[in-house]
Amino acid sequence: MIGGPLVAVATWRGSHRDRPSVTLYGWFAVWGWLLYSFNPSVPLLAREMGVSNAVAGLHGTAIAGGAILAAALTPRLVTRFGRQATLVAAGPMVAVGTLALVTGRGIAWTLTAVLVLASGAIVAVSAAQAGLAMRHGARSSASLTEAAGVGSTVGLFGPLAVGAGVAVGWGWRPAVGVTAVFALATAFAIARLPARGPLVRPVRRDRALVEPGGARRPATARTRATGQVDSSRRLPGSSRFYLAALVAAIALETATTFWSTDLLIEHSGAGPGIAAAAVAGLVAGMSAIRFVVGPLSLRIAPVHLLAVSFGVAVVGWSVLWTATTPPVAFAGLVLAGLGYGAQYPLAISLFLVAARGATDRAQARATLAGGLAFGIAPFVLGALADGVGTHTAFLFVPVLAVLGAAAALAGSRSARRELARQDLDVRAGTGRG
């Protein structure tokens, strides 16, 4: 199942679809399957174990703990052992954590298992993501969006597998357990790659860099010589806004995938199996838009696409939130997915390009911030649902979307000011010379 999308991607033409890059997509597929099979299972786990939504939402907090560990470990592991070894070692770690999760019968056990498997998976995705960004440079928005599209395409089958498992009486565990198989298969595929390119050192194909707002600036002599931008410089101010947009995107997606199952059960009258499977509509929308936005981001400034995507998410939320029947709720999820799908890959590519060469350091910061969003958003929405009901709690979603759009636009303005200051400095230096 994981091989099909990867083989299909490998056959497409494009400078960003070489063998190492496509193989790195495998970790996005593993992460996609894990997220979209486990997240819709959380309400089912809560009912099975007799715990509140807030307590069940602590699984998101466990994922956040894994992200914090990954943010600290990934740069060190990549520096000490290399990108390839790091990506390979993550496979067994994810497999062990997954098996512990699906065999656990108590909340303490499942929370610990999620911490372990999330640590391994996020280390792998972070290392793969930074490798793709460094390999493709100015065209990284296309490769990162496509990688995310592969992940959500594979993940599309996760909610369907959970729904089918519930329908036949197997529960959610077998579908989530497939993550272990995918992780080991991906680690094996990466181990067979030649140790070059993004697995060992960055390869900058472009001789010019793209500023976060879409403007281009020339590469320096050091960039041309080493394939990197000067990483000793501090991250620019615009990166703060892009990081905020990234956090909003992660919080939106996580909160919705965790609790939309419960929303459908409460407000549309769907049964547990149908409600869990309906999350596939969200993932289908995300997958479809990612394969469109990737090439489009090479023609339209990514920041403009990002701002629009938050607006589309609000439209989809409004359909979902007002739906009283499963088909209409499913349509709302698909529409929301068209917005959600563009947000993370565009936001992370803008943030990593804004880092100007300090890619692994910026990736670690994004991993940490995103992990906190992953941990806080499901817990907050779950706690709100315990107090006022899931339907009312979902008002949390459009607030996040508005904040994300505002952050993206603020980042664009900040990037333009930074570029203008650089131009003035260059002219002043030329005048003195």
What phi, psi does 217 have (nearest 5°)? -135, 150
Q: Which residue has the higher pLDDT, 199 or 370?
A: 370
Lowest-pLDDT range of 37-41, 310-314, 428-432: 428-432
Q: How confident is the model at residue 175 (pLDDT cuts 50, 70, 90)?
A: very high
- Distance of alpha carbon 2 from the chain centroid: 18
Give the SS3 label for residue 210.
strand
Residue 166 CA: distances (Å) to CA of 32, 53, 259: 20, 19, 17
> Is the predicted pLDDT of residue 211 greater than 60, yes or no?
no
pLDDT value at residue 133: 75
Calpha distance 157→179 (Å, rounded): 12
Q: What is the pLDDT of residue 230?
A: 37
Alpha carbon 381 to chain centroid distance? Answer: 19
Question: Rounded mean pLDDT of the chain?
Answer: 80
| Number of helices (H), then strands (E), in the chain | 18, 2
d(CA 130, CA 144): 9
Q: Is the pLDDT of residue 356 over 90?
A: no
pLDDT given at position 119: 93
* Mean predicted confidence (pLDDT) in 7-14: 42
- Residue 99: exposure state from Cβ atoms within 10 A (0-12, 13-18, ≥19): middle
Q: Is the pLDDT of residue 243 over 50?
A: yes
Of 208-212, 299-303, 421-425, which range is least confident? 208-212
Residue 305 in tokens: 């696409």
**pLDDT(111) > 90:** yes
3-state secondary structure of 395: coil
Cα separation, 80 vs 86, whole angstroms: 9
Please give the pLDDT value at position 188.
Answer: 94
Mean per-residue pLDDT, 62-70: 87
> For residue 225, what pLDDT is reported?
31
**pLDDT reported for residue 364:** 81
277 is written with which tokens?
Answer: 């499977």
Residue 75 has pLDDT above 80, yes or no: yes
pLDDT confidence of 428, banded at 50, 70, 90?
A: low
- When mean pLDDT is compared across 55-64, 110-119, 229-238, 410-419, the lowest value belongs to 229-238
Average pLDDT over residues 399-418: 88
| pLDDT average, residue stretch 45-61 | 84
Mean pLDDT computed over 319-334: 92
Q: Which domains does the chain have, with CATH numbers?
A: 3-432 (1.20.1250.20)
Looking at residue 36, its pLDDT comes to: 83
Looking at residues 185-197, what average pLDDT do you find? 83
The continuous run of DSSP H or E covering 216 comes out as strand 216-218
Amino acid occupying residue 397: V
For the record, the structure tokens of 170 come out as 């197997």
Q: Given pLDDT bands bounded at 50, 70 and 90, which one contains residue 223?
A: very low
Positive or negative torsion for Cα 72, 78, 83, 84: negative
Q: Which single residue is written with the structure tokens 């992990």?
A: 371
The predicted structure's pLDDT at residue 380? 86
Instruction: Read off the pLDDT of each residue in 80-100 and give the average, rounded to a whole number.
Output: 92
Q: % helix / strand / coil in the chain, to the nearest 5?
A: 80, 0, 15
Collapse the DSSP code of 209 into the 3-class scheme (helix H, G, I; strand E, B; otherwise coil) and give the result. strand
Q: Which of 286, 352, 309 has its CA nearest to residue 31? A: 286
Per-residue model confidence (pLDDT) at position 3? 42
Joined together, the tokens standing for residue 102 give 């699906």
pTM of the entire predicted model: 0.69
How large is the average pLDDT for residues 372-380? 81
Return the pLDDT at 11.
38
Q: What is the DSSP string of 71-118?
A: HHHHHHHHHHH-HHHHHHHHHHHHHHHHHHHHH--SHHHHHHHHHHHH
The string over 236-268, giving b where at least 16 C-beta atoms fall within 10 Å of a residue's C-beta and e elsewhere, is bebbebbbbbbbbbbbbbbbbbbbbbbbbbbbb
> Position 243: which residue type?
L
Kindly give, in sequence order, each residue whose CB lies less than 8 Å from that of residue 173, ignoring residues fewer than 6 positions away: 102, 165
What pLDDT sits at residue 198? 53
Over 60: is that where the pLDDT of 423 sits? Answer: no
Of 242-256, 301-315, 355-369, give the lowest mean pLDDT range: 355-369
Phi (first) and psi of residue 186, to 5 degrees: -70, -40
d(CA 249, CA 295): 20
Q: Looking at residue 218, what is its pLDDT?
A: 42
How much is the pLDDT for 284?
87
